[in-house]
Amino acid sequence: MAEPILRVEDLRTQFFTSRGVVHAVDGVSLYVNEGETVAVVGESGCGKTITALSILRLVPDPGRIVGGKILFKGRDVVDMDDDAVRNYRGNDVSMIFQDPMTSLNPVTKVGAQIKEAMTAHDRFTPAQATERVVPLLKRVRVPAAERRIKDYPHQFSGGMRQRAMIAMGLANEPSLLIADEPTTALDVTVQAQVIQLLKQLNRELGTAVILITHNTALVASMCERIIVMYAGRIVEEGPVERIFKNPEHPYTWALLRSVPRVDEARKGRLVSIHGLPPDLVRLPPGCKFHPRCMFKIDRCSRDEPELEDVAPGQRARCWVKMSTVSEEAREEAQASEVATDVAAEIKKRMRADAKA
């Protein structure tokens, strides 16, 4: 098998705030093969965006990459000097962001912004860049592209703006495109279109895609592999079909059962996950998910499990593993109450903060 184009090894990114050190990314290792589509899934604050920003060396203050390697085609991005990083950004690896309205410069024409993505690097001359803008917009299915390049972002609709951003991201034909929640700010109908577009572009251009999202339905329609993150670490990963059929980590299991699925019969309640995401400054001991886990055992609060192979191609970080949980236990878990202790949890946090 060919070498992955991106290999992240034990990445650690931390934020140094007045409250303490936030362990946003705590030992993440992943890889992406050429032309592959990988999903990174998890709730807000689990570290997926920071991981992506780290790959592009765009971590904002007061954050810093404190350890690990990011190997893009063999070169370590963490070690690169400023010029090399600049060349790599937007050229080898591109990123598109969640809210296209705020991610585009409101006072510059859209065509100019796309052209800028190319002239920032040396691949195309300015003349060539200008010529490429309209075809790029056409490729992302923006109608009347020739007129549109003279428009400003506020004159585009939400979906079109995101397409323009995708065009911008692909302008230099990067090997990898990272899409950070590209559809979250869009209408539901438009969301499907954008995901379709990404899928097509992946097939047509061979650009690998990392799709960051908390929407598992999108994952199913587009990605080959899925990585599940929690509290700054990977808790499960593997091929999409296998994970969806047999999630081993309780968190993945709960995540998949928290939205209604068209392919399942309408039995059973939806699962909601108790409690709040952990405080990344004061993480609990043992498994980071155990305070909210419905299947935990004693060991979970003491020792943190390693990421182990649980099936061919699938790895999970759990002592219990869902395959060992009986049907009755699962039914019982699904029947339990909605989080009544959210309020109590918040109060507890406020008191702890006030004391600190």
Partner 1 sequence: MAATAIAVEVADWETPEQIGLWTDAWRRFRRNRLAVTSLFVVVLMALTAIGAPLLERIGLLQDPTAQDLIHTYAPILSPHHWLGTDELGRDVFSKVVFGAQVSLSIGFLVQAIVLVIGGTIGLTAGYFGGWIDNGLMRFTDIMYAFPDLLFVLIIVAALGPSFINIFVAIGLVSWVGLGRLVRGRVLSIKEKEFVEAAHAAGSSPAKIILKHLLPNSLGPVIVVLTFGIPAAIFTEAVLDFLGVGLRPPWPSWGVMVFDGYAASDAYPNLVLVPCVALSITMLAFNFIGDGLRDALDPRMRR
Partner 2 sequence: MVPVLMSVIFITFFLAHIAPGSPWDKEGRQLNDATIHNLNIKYGLDKPIWTQFGLYVWNVLHFDFGSSYQHPGQTVNQLIFQSWPYTFTLGSVSFICILFFGISFGVVAALRQNTKVDYAAVALATIGASVPNFVVGIFLIILFSNFLYKLTQATFYLPTGGYPQDFLHMIMPVATLSFLPIAFLTRLTRSSTLDALRQDYVRTAWAKGLRERLVVTRHVLKNSMIPVVTTAGPLFATLITGSVIVETVFQIPGIGRSFVQSIDSRDYPMILGTTVLYAALVAVLNLVVDVTYVFIDPRVRLT
Judged by beta carbon distances under 5 to 8 A according to partner kind, the member of partner 1, partner 2, none in contact with residue 343 is: partner 1
Judged by beta carbon distances under 5 to 8 A according to partner kind, the member of partner 1, partner 2, none in contact with residue 14 is: none
Which CB, 132 or 292, lies closer to partner 2? Answer: 132
Task: Pick from 342, 349, 351, 352 the residue near partner 1 by CB under 8 A.
Answer: 342
Q: Which residues pair with 278 in a beta bridge?
A: none
Q: How many CB atoms lie within 10 A of CB 29?
A: 15
Which CB, 173 or 353, lies closer to partner 1? Answer: 353
Judged by beta carbon distances under 5 to 8 A according to partner kind, the member of partner 1, partner 2, none in contact with residue 106 is: partner 2
**Is residue 343 a contact residue for partner 1 (CB under 8 A)?**
yes
Name residues whose C-beta falls within 8 Å of residue 137's C-beta, 6 or more positions apart in sequence.
114, 145, 148, 149, 163, 164, 167
Q: By C-alpha distance, which of 168, 249, 174, 182 is closest to 212?
A: 182
Applying CB under 8 A, the span of 8-16, 71-79, 94-102, 347-355 interacting with partner 1 comes to: 347-355
Q: What is the nearest approach in angstroms of partner 2 to the Cβ of residue 100?
A: 9
Question: Do residues 141 and 197 make contact, with C-beta atoms less than 8 angstroms apart?
Answer: yes
Task: Pick from 347, 348, 349, 351 the residue near partner 1 by CB under 8 A.
Answer: 347
Count CA atoms within 13 Å of residue 2 on its CB side: 9
Residues found near partner 2 in the complex (CB under 8 A): 56, 58, 60, 86-91, 94-95, 97, 99, 102-108, 116-117, 120-121, 152, 154-155, 165, 168
Task: Pick from 344, 349, 351, 352 the residue near partner 1 by CB under 8 A.
Answer: 344
145 token code pair: 């592209």
Which CB, 86 or 261, lies closer to partner 2? Answer: 86
Strand pairing of 176-180 and 20-32? unpaired
Euclidean distance between the first and the last CA atom of the chain, given in angstroms as a whole number:
52
Applying CB under 8 A, the span of 22-30, 252-260, 264-272, 335-343 interacting with partner 1 comes to: 335-343
Which CB, 172 or 202, lies closer to partner 2? Answer: 172
Q: What is the nearest approach in angstroms of partner 1 to the Cβ of residue 340?
A: 5
Q: What is the nearest approach in angstroms of partner 2 to the Cβ of residue 212?
A: 14
Cα-based distances in Å from 58 to 4, 37, 50, 89: 22, 22, 9, 9
- How many whole angstroms separate alpha carbon 160 and alpha carbon 101? 10
Number of residues that bind partner 1 (CB under 8 A): 10
- How many whole angstroms separate alpha carbon 66 and alpha carbon 16? 11
Q: What is the nearest approach in angstroms of partner 2 to the Cβ of residue 20?
A: 20
Cα-based distances in Å from 41 to 54, 127, 229, 231, 256: 17, 40, 6, 12, 11
- Positions touching partner 1 (CB under 8 A) are 337-338, 340, 342-344, 346-347, 350, 353
